[in-house]
Chain A
Amino acid sequence: MTGGDEVTGGAGVSGGDGVTGDGVRGDGVTGRTEETGRLHRAGSDVQGRTEEAGMTTGLKTAVADNPPAAPPTAGSVPVPRRNWRSALRTWSPLLVLLVLAVLPYSTVSVPGVFDGPLNGPGTLQLLAICLVFGGLAAGYDLLFGRTGMLSFGHALYFAAGVYGTDILVTKAGLPLWQAALLTLVGGTTLAALLGAVALRTAGIAFAMVTLAFAQVGAILVARDFGGLTGGEEGLSLDVSGLPAMLVGVGNTVNLYWLALAYLALVVFVVHRVAGSPTGRVLAGLRDDERRIGVLGLDPYRFKLLAFTLAGGLATAGGAIYCLLVGGASPHVTSSELTLSLLVMVVLGGPGTRWGPVLGGVLYMYLDHRLTAFGTSSAVESLPGVLSGPLSQPLFVLGTVFILAVYFFPGGLTSLSTRLTPFRRLRTDRSS
């Protein structure tokens, strides 16, 4: 390994302590060059825009210092290193998407991982829920990992999507597309309004205000004002007005594709935003908000933009979740849902492209499967001291989460960076 290897190391370190780091993403040596090139372009975009805004001094250093921006030498790494591995890196997301899209056609059964064959409705629904939450976690990461805003009220916008769709279809009798569109607009507006108030505070106070707003949502739903939400029992979706292709156990596969499309959309949007000039400003807000203010940009507007966008994405996820589980139940409004989103993002790796998705999918999978695991004979045969806690998914996930905060601050995606020394050892031996 030559030159390029050092670039990877340098970029990885510059990401800081890993929790806020962007740089932990890069594990491929050659993939890094393409990544840094993109970042450079994005960086100069910010520069151009802010200079238009009348700021002329000190910008070059400020932009060049932003953590994900690689050292200038990175641009001079020879292009011919873009071999098959870099191509794989570029195309692998599409490849994974393709595999996931054709997955329902396979009848393979994976014993121990899923009950029944892969294209069974139960498995597909579990997978679809995992995908929706993967998208939800990626949207939440736009706030937490990329902008550094700790919101404890994200469940509110998800719940707005779930209940909005449900109520408009079931109680108002609107066709699904109108209901979904109205819900999306409503949820985004709600996020913009509440964000405008909540963002007058910062840090921990912001966390508490968002928590309190979400709590109002939970109370409104639980108390069942006007008989709209069904209170504690929830409200099941009236399927008579829905398109036939989305109704019934046999059509679970269509919902699965819908969930997959949602995940792809969220990842695409978050990726595009993070790579755009706005995304550079958001990363700047996360790292040092005062500096953004000094640059003549208004932190409030950018934070509100991120908050509204994340709220809108969560609302869309809620609409799909409502179709997927066929109704709404009050637990989607609980603060625990937001906390689990936080767990997903931190487990996966905040501020990375695939970390939150991975965390969300894995969390929901474990949350569903650990319940079955807890009642399995292997756990039952353990002494009571062990089998009791192990049968509680939240105990296992909470413990794993705490351990992750201590020992893997960058989440799952940082593991590949941490394993790099071992890989290098292996390559050296083979060459």
Chain B
Amino acid sequence: MSTIVLLTLTGLGLAALYFLVASGLSLVFGLADVLNFAHGLFLSVGAYATWWAAGNLPGAGPSGFGFVLAVAFGVAAGAVVGMAVELVMIRPLYSRTIEQVLVTVGLSLAGVALLQATWGADPRPFPRPDWTQRVTPVLGAKVPNSGILLILAAVLVLAALLGFLRYTRYGLVIRAGVENREMVTALGIDVRKAFTLVFAIGGAAAALAGALGGVYFGSVSPSQGGSLLIFAFIVVVIGGMGSVVGSAYAAVAVGLLQQFVNYYGTSGAGDICVVALLAIVLLLRPQGIAGRAATT
């Protein structure tokens, strides 16, 4: 019993990480039709900015309120990088989908190499507040606090995103834009502002995933973003491109499947099951679980 609880909660922790990356990816794809290969870079930027802030920023530190400040700095860095990428690199190639993908591919190669040149290819120990290294007993299972932190953060982000999309004017524009961008433009609304906003949100969410993932794994390395990105892509496709809620469902399914099969089967079998799930979903329901709608 305690094993199942533990596996469920660590699986949900993994799902939370996937969701944080996939939600931004999904919105960006749904609204702007950009398959963003640089999203892994946003994650790495968030992780490295948090790591740097914990050591160098005045007021920030590896524990307590200082750590919150460090994470906030990382998230802000992710949002700024996301926005800058949209303004400088994506916008000039508006509606040329393949070129946009190519640019983000180049950016992911060059950006990771830049991080590597600055801080080296080896993993760096990540600052972890003491309480995240402890465990909490839940129904007899000892669950690591860092996993619970991830789950809480993902739930908060999901609630905040849904609230933003449902109850604000910009949320309305984004939802409408995901469903039919031409119509929104025809109504005289500058949908490109929404693009920038979505990139900033996606960058911030990915940076948060990078910072909390750093706490979860205990280290940060330049290539971390890339390996998470592939599973985030899978989550986005399974969930339905453009749907935040679909991403959440798919992230939970993928995280739990991976964790359980990896534990009860051989190591690595879970990852293969995830791809099998992707193939099945695509064959039976090519539009994904939720289809193309931002909040359903």
| A, B from the same assembly | yes
Cβ of B179 under 8 Å from chain A: no
* Among candidates B113, B268, B275, residue contacting A389 with C-beta atoms closer than 8 Å: B113
Cβ of B283 under 8 Å from chain A: yes
User: Is B113's CB under 8 angstroms from A394's CB?
Assistant: yes
Q: Is the interface of B mostly helix, strand, loop or mixed?
A: helix
Cβ of B296 under 8 Å from chain A: no
User: Is B233's CB under 8 angstroms from A150's CB?
Assistant: no
User: Is A346's CB under 8 angstroms from B266's CB?
Assistant: no
User: Which one of B2-10, B99-107, B189-197 contacts A?
Assistant: B99-107
User: Is B92's CB under 8 angstroms from A209's CB?
Assistant: no
User: Is B279's CB under 8 angstroms from A399's CB?
Assistant: no
Cβ of A100 under 8 Å from chain B: no
Cβ of A406 under 8 Å from chain B: yes
Bound complex: CA of A398 vs CA of B267, how far in Å? 34
Residue-wise, chain A 129-154 has the 8 Å CB interface mask toward B (1 for contact) of 00000000000000000000010000
User: Which one of B58-66, B114-122, B123-131, B141-149 contacts A?
Assistant: B114-122
Given A209-B237, A212-B278, A392-B114, A398 and B283 contact (CB-CB distance below 8 Å): no
Which residues of A have CB within 8 Å of B105?
A: 339, 342-343, 401
Q: CB-nearest residue of chain A relative to B107? A: A402
User: Is B102's CB under 8 angstroms from A401's CB?
Assistant: yes
- B interface residues, tally (CB under 8 Å): 44
Which residues of B have CB within 8 Å of A87?
A: none
User: Which one of A32-40, A53-61, A179-187, A197-205 contacts B?
Assistant: A197-205
User: Is A209's CB under 8 angstroms from B112's CB?
Assistant: no
Given A208-B237, A388-B117, A405 and B282 contact (CB-CB distance below 8 Å): no
User: Is A343's CB under 8 angstroms from B109's CB?
Assistant: yes
Bound complex: CA of A211 vs CA of B105, how far in Å? 13
Cβ of B31 under 8 Å from chain A: no
User: Is B282's CB under 8 angstroms from A216's CB?
Assistant: no
Cβ of B42 under 8 Å from chain A: no
Which residues of B have CB within 8 Å of A409?
A: 99
Which residues of A have CB within 8 Å of B114?
A: 389, 392, 395
Cβ of B230 under 8 Å from chain A: yes
Residue with the greatest number of chain A CB neighbours at <10 A, chosen from B113, B114, B268, B279: B113
Which residues of B have CB within 8 Å of A212?
A: 230, 233-234, 275, 278-279
User: Is B117's CB under 8 angstroms from A392's CB?
Assistant: yes
User: Is B266's CB under 8 angstroms from A211's CB?
Assistant: no
Query: B residues 252-293 with Cβ under 8 Å of A?
Result: 266-268, 271-272, 275, 278-279, 282-283, 286
Which residues of A have CB within 8 Å of B109?
A: 336, 339-340, 343, 394-395, 397-398, 401
* Among candidates B98, B101, B268, residue contacting A223 with C-beta atoms closer than 8 Å: B268
User: Is B102's CB under 8 angstroms from A405's CB?
Assistant: yes
User: Is B103's CB under 8 angstroms from A200's CB?
Assistant: no
User: Is B29's CB under 8 angstroms from A405's CB?
Assistant: no
User: Is B233's CB under 8 angstroms from A211's CB?
Assistant: yes
Q: Nearest Cβ in chain B — how far from A103, in angstroms?
A: 31
Q: Nearest Cβ in chain B — how far from A347, in angstroms?
A: 10
Residue with the greatest number of chain B CB neighbours at <10 A, chosen from A208, A213, A391, A409: A208
Given A219-B268, A389-B113, A398-B107, A150 and B98 contact (CB-CB distance below 8 Å): yes
Cβ of A207 under 8 Å from chain B: yes
Cβ of A335 under 8 Å from chain B: yes
User: Is A398's CB under 8 angstroms from B89's CB?
Assistant: no
Which residues of B have CB within 8 Å of A339?
A: 37, 105, 108-109
User: Is A335's CB under 8 angstroms from B110's CB?
Assistant: no
Which residues of A have CB within 8 Å of B117?
A: 388-389, 391-392, 395
Cβ of B69 under 8 Å from chain A: no
User: Is B106's CB under 8 angstroms from A401's CB?
Assistant: yes
Which residues of A have CB within 8 Å of B99?
A: 19, 405, 409
User: Is A219's CB under 8 angstroms from B271's CB?
Assistant: yes
Which residues of A have CB within 8 Å of B278?
A: 209, 212
User: Is A402's CB under 8 angstroms from B112's CB?
Assistant: no
* Among candidates A150, A223, A346, residue contacting B267 with C-beta atoms closer than 8 Å: A223
Which residues of A have CB within 8 Å of B286?
A: 200-201, 205
Bound complex: CA of A394 vs CA of B286, how far in Å? 35
Cβ of A278 under 8 Å from chain B: no
Residue-wise, chain A 342-379 has the 8 Å CB interface mask toward B (1 for contact) of 11001000000000000000000000000000000000
Query: A residues 392-414 with Cβ under 8 Å of B?
Result: 392-395, 397-399, 401-402, 405-406, 409
User: Is B230's CB under 8 angstroms from A150's CB?
Assistant: no
Cβ of A225 under 8 Å from chain B: yes
Bound complex: CA of A343 vs CA of B37, how far in Å? 14
User: Is A405's CB under 8 angstroms from B234's CB?
Assistant: no
Cβ of A119 under 8 Å from chain B: no
Which residues of A have CB within 8 Å of B113?
A: 389, 392-395, 398
Cβ of B150 under 8 Å from chain A: no
Q: Nearest Cβ in chain B — how far from A177, in angstroms?
A: 32
User: Is B230's CB under 8 angstroms from A215's CB?
Assistant: yes
Cβ of B173 under 8 Å from chain A: no
Q: Nearest Cβ in chain B — how far from A400, in angstroms?
A: 8
User: Is B283's CB under 8 angstroms from A197's CB?
Assistant: yes
Given A389-B114, A394-B113, A204 and B271 contact (CB-CB distance below 8 Å): no
Q: Nearest Cβ in chain A — how far from B95, in angstroms?
A: 12
Query: B residues 229-246 with Cβ under 8 Å of A?
Result: 230, 233-234, 236-237, 241
- B residues adjacent to A (C-beta < 8 A): 29, 33, 35, 37, 89, 92-93, 97-99, 101-103, 105-114, 116-118, 226, 230, 233-234, 236-237, 241, 266-268, 271-272, 275, 278-279, 282-283, 286
With A398-B107, A398-B110, A401-B110 already in contact, 15 other A-B pairs whose C-beta atoms are closer than 8 Å: A200-B283, A204-B241, A205-B237, A205-B241, A212-B279, A225-B268, A336-B109, A336-B226, A389-B117, A392-B113, A393-B113, A394-B109, A398-B108, A405-B99, A406-B93
- A residues adjacent to B (C-beta < 8 A): 19, 150, 197, 200-201, 204-205, 207-209, 211-213, 215-216, 219-220, 222-223, 225, 335-336, 339-340, 342-343, 346, 388-389, 391-395, 397-399, 401-402, 405-406, 409
Interchain Cβ contacts under 8 Å between A and B, 9 examples? A204-B101, A207-B35, A208-B233, A209-B278, A220-B268, A343-B106, A397-B109, A401-B106, A402-B106
Nearest 3 interchain pairs by C-beta: A398-B110, A398-B109, A223-B268
